[in-house]
């Protein structure tokens, strides 16, 4: 079947995994240089990889601040590249990170914006009258001068992201490209050159987005060796068993991750020699440089199966001085191609990944297939890229929390018929008639903040601490902007007519994960409104930290049964917690699908005796009609029994342990340190968080739970609720003691 793609091309993926093409007139593939069918065609792809935060914050990277940390300034890259593309109509350049490009775009004059549009999507002669020489030059702007690939707000991670957020951040970038550049601005392929492993689910998403292909650079070093030798660097990736062909995507592995061939990097950051082409100079190096490049092209071609190869010319934050790159590349093309007269088969020309993909398409060959992930990957013998799966868990949790709020905000904005999209999706701040952005700050939008945090050095947890703080601040500001929309939407939805009383302001309790909600402390009355973003009705246990006893009623006035439980000491002593609440009320909320329920809290005039049973440091059992969990007197989990299916899962041990981190200096593979990227324990044997533990089992109407304390920095709670079918395991770890100068990798282990 045809996978619909943008503008002129559809790829038909046949049963034998070949690719055929259906072409039409328009922008994009029609302007591609397909080279010479009798030569080895080298597609030269100028590009820059701009991390949306890593060693510096996104703002610092854009403006070039804190160059003492890393010299990088994205605004100057774009300032340099655009005039260079205008200067020579043969030049090509690809750009990915729309978070940066958008910032640069809104600072440009209307004339510059129109010039860039011509580089992307118009073929038009523009006369330039040069007064000095009284001559007229005709500049030919061709489609594809500047091409956007992937087109997300950032180059998203694939190991720890949620599909909601991947779709949202690509939607944000795609909306900008559509609005500013029309249909020709729409990317035709994915470009995931830097993430630390690749998921077939992301390949499936990209296929469903209409991409024709995907290129990336990082795979396991052993997998790379095998593919390099067997010429299977390019394949059809079958992303989903369930979806079938609509999830298939042509995929290619780029050599050298995404850098230039050795000794051919022409950025000021590199130390490679320029092309010195004056034969009168003593250090004239054209013959040596030409032969070295021809050799590099032939070596790369051994790993691929067609007479087309792609060479990425660029790296992290390259092209701040684009003339240095383009001038040397053009000399290289000139002198290498001149050797064709002497029998060389190497043919160089400017290209893009899209045109390289199209050239492969035109070869009309059958490709190997792949059906699983590129996960996990090893960078070297001791560098297993799994550390980032759990690095900075607090930021990972906060990103998921912000995603939940963003999805709910979008729903409430729609269902209440508000027109407040600009408050959470920043591109709505642009006036379509005047092309001017409204005054709302871009950094206050949750959609923009979430797009940034999907970056592969953001939610992954591999950034520096001050950058992680910046990401968290952006999410917090974005959540505040979303809270305004939620408040306005609920006021409209909760209103019962023209004569109803004003609905009070609604607000989020952001710190319920540490049993804190300061605005309701000591209040005599308050309400809680719970929104269900799913289409199914749900029953959910709700925990409310309180300083008083309350009665709870639903919207019809019916009383709701609630339990009042003491908050664990391990929660109350979490650093930064400011709440005076010692208890939390637990009750079961019933919420309709895509709807809300409101509950009313009122202070009790007199205390009511709690029905709660507590057992300390004894063997105990948690049980409802579906599940039975057994512990011994030492807090060891013995068995979980499924009462519905009548089977047991026995445990010889369960709990919190830690590995000692390998303390290498990463100078060589054998000295690879454990850290944010890599998980590498010093020994294969984990150490218990404590040799002893205390267990307290608590029984109420709503919950049976076992609280297990290992020490003053590690504890866990295992709970079952009412008639629930799941076991909930919640842990608290930290602050992790490091006074002994030993890194600690904390794990939850089940034996």
What is the pairing mode between strands 93-95 and 146-148? Answer: parallel
What is the pairing mode between strands 562-566 and 583-591? Answer: antiparallel
CB 565 within 8 A of CB 610: no
Alpha helices by DSSP H, listed for 302-392, are 322-338, 353-363
Structure tokens at 396: 């990972």
What is the pairing mode between strands 744-750 and 654-660? Answer: antiparallel
Structure tokens at 572: 């109350």
CB 583 within 8 A of CB 566: yes
DSSP assigned state of 327: H
CB 122 within 8 A of CB 143: yes
Residues in the chain: 751
CB 479 within 8 A of CB 402: yes
Angle at 169 (CA atoms; ends 166, 175), nearest 5 degrees: 135
| DSSP 3-state of 411 | helix
Q: How far is CA 284 from the centre of its chain?
A: 47
Please state whether 386 falls in left (phi above 0), alpha (psi between -120 and 50) or beta: alpha
Residue 318: CA count within 13 A, CB half-sphere: 26
CB 46 within 8 A of CB 326: yes
Phi, psi of 679 (to 5 degrees): -100, 110
- Rounded CA separation 132/664 (Å): 63
> String of b and e for 622-647 (b: at least 16 CB within 10 Å)?
bebebbbbbbeeebbbeebbeeeeee
Angle at 640 (CA atoms; ends 635, 643), nearest 5 degrees: 140
CB 482 within 8 A of CB 446: yes
602, β-bridge pairs: 525, 551
- Rounded CA separation 119/450 (Å): 29
| DSSP 3-state of 189 | strand
Element at 609 (helix H, strand E): none
Closest CA to 622 of 692, 691, 699: 699
Residues 6 or more apart whose Cβ sits within 8 Å of residue 39: 307, 340, 345, 346, 347
Closest CA to 211 of 154, 144, 149: 149
Angle at 265 (CA atoms; ends 262, 271), nearest 5 degrees: 90
As annotated, the active-site residues are 194
Angle at 146 (CA atoms; ends 55, 103), nearest 5 degrees: 45
- Rounded CA separation 625/644 (Å): 8
Angle at 441 (CA atoms; ends 190, 94), nearest 5 degrees: 25
Angle at 275 (CA atoms; ends 273, 279), nearest 5 degrees: 120
Q: E strands, 182-292, where?
A: 189-192, 213-216, 234-238, 248-253
Structure tokens at 414: 């729609």
3-state secondary structure 121-133: HCCEEEEEEECCC
- Rounded CA separation 90/731 (Å): 59
Structure tokens at 644: 């519905």
Residue 83: CA count within 13 A, CB half-sphere: 8
Angle at 193 (CA atoms; ends 189, 197), nearest 5 degrees: 105
């Amino acid at each position: 079947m045809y996978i619909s793609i943008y503008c002129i091309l559809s790829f038909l993926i046949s049963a034998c995994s070949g690719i055929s093409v259906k072409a039409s007139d328009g922008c994009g593939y029609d302007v591609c240089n397909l080279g010479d069918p009798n030569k080895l065609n080298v597609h030269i792809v100028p590009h820059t990889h701009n991390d949306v935060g890593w060693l510096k914050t996104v703002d610092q990277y854009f403006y070039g601040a804190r160059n003492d940390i890393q010299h990088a300034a994205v605004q100057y890259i774009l300032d340099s590249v655009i005039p260079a593309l205008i200067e020579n109509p043969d030049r090509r350049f690809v750009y990915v990170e729309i978070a940066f490009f958008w910032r640069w775009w809104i600072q440009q004059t209307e004339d510059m914006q129109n010039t860039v549009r011509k580089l992307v999507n118009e073929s038009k002669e523009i006369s330039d009258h040069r007064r000095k020489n009284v001559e007229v030059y005709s500049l030919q702007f061709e489609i594809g001068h500047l091409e956007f690939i992937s087109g997300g707000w950032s180059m998203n991670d694939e190991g720890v992201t949620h599909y909601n957020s991947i779709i949202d951040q690509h939607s944000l970038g795609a909306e900008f490209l559509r609005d500013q550049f029309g249909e020709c601005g729409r990317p035709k392929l994915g470009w995931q050159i830097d993430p630390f492993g690749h998921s077939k689910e992301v390949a499936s998403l990209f296929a469903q987005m209409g991409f024709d292909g995907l290129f990336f650079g990082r795979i396991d070093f052993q997998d790379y060796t095998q593919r390099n030798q067997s010429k299977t660097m390019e394949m059809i990736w079958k992303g989903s068993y369930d979806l079938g062909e609509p999830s298939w995507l042509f995929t290619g592995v780029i050599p050298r991750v995404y850098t230039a061939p050795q000794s051919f990097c022409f950025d000021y950051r590199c130390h490679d020699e320029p092309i010195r082409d004056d034969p009168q100079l003593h250090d004239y190096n054209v013959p040596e440089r030409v032969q070295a490049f021809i050799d590099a092209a032939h070596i790369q071609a051994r790993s691929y199966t067609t007479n087309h190869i792609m060479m990425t010319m660029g790296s992290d934050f390259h092209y701040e001085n684009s003339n240095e790159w383009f001038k040397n590349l053009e000399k290289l093309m000139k002198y290498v191609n001149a050797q064709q007269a002497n029998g060389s088969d190497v043919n160089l020309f400017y290209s893009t990944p899209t045109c390289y993909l199209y050239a492969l398409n035109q070869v009309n060959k059958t490709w190997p297939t792949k059906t699983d992930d590129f996960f996990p990957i090893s960078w070297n013998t001791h560098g297993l890229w799994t550390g980032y799966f759990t690095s900075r868990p607090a930021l990972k949790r906060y990103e998921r929390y912000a995603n939940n709020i963003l999805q709910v905000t979008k729903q409430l904005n729609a269902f209440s018929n508000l027109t407040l999209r600009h408050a959470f999706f920043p591109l709505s701040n642009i006036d379509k008639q005047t092309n001017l952005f409204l005054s709302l700050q871009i950094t206050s939008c949750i959609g923009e903040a979430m797009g940034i945090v999907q970056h592969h050095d953001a939610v992954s947890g591999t950034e520096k601490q001050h950058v992680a703080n910046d990401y968290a601040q952006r999410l917090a500001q974005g959540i505040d902007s979303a809270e305004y929309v939620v408040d306005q939407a609920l006021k409209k939805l909760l209103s019962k007519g023209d004569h109803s009383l004003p609905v009070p302001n609604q607000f989020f309790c952001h710190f319920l994960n540490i049993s804190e909600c300061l605005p309701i402390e000591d209040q005599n009355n308050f309400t809680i409104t719970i929104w269900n973003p799913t289409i199914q009705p749900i029953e959910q246990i709700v925990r409310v930290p309180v300083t008083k006893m309350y009665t709870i009623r639903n919207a019809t006035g019916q009383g709701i049964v609630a339990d009042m439980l003491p908050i664990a000491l391990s929660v109350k002593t979490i650093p930064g917690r400011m709440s005076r609440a010692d208890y939390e009320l637990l009750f079961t909320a019933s919420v309709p699908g895509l709807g809300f329920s409101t509950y009313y809290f009122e202070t009790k005039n007199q205390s009511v005796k709690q029905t709660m049973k507590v057992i300390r440091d004894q063997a105990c059992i948690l049980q409802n009609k579906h599940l039975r969990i057994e512990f011994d007197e030492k807090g060891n989990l013995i068995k979980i029994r499924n009462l519905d299916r009548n089977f047991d899962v026995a445990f010889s041990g369960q709990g919190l342990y830690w590995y000692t981190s390998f303390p290498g200096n990463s100078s060589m593979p054998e000295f690879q340190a454990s850290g944010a990227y890599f998980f590498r324990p010093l020994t294969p044997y984990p150490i218990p968080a404590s040799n002893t533990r205390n267990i307290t089992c608590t029984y109420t109407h709503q919950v049976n739970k076992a609280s297990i304390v290992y020490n003053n920095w590690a504890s866990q709670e295992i709970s079952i609720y009412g008639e629930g079918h799941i076991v909930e395991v919640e842990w608290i770890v930290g602050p992790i003691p490091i006074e002994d100068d030993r890194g600690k990798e904390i794990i939850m282990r089940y034996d």
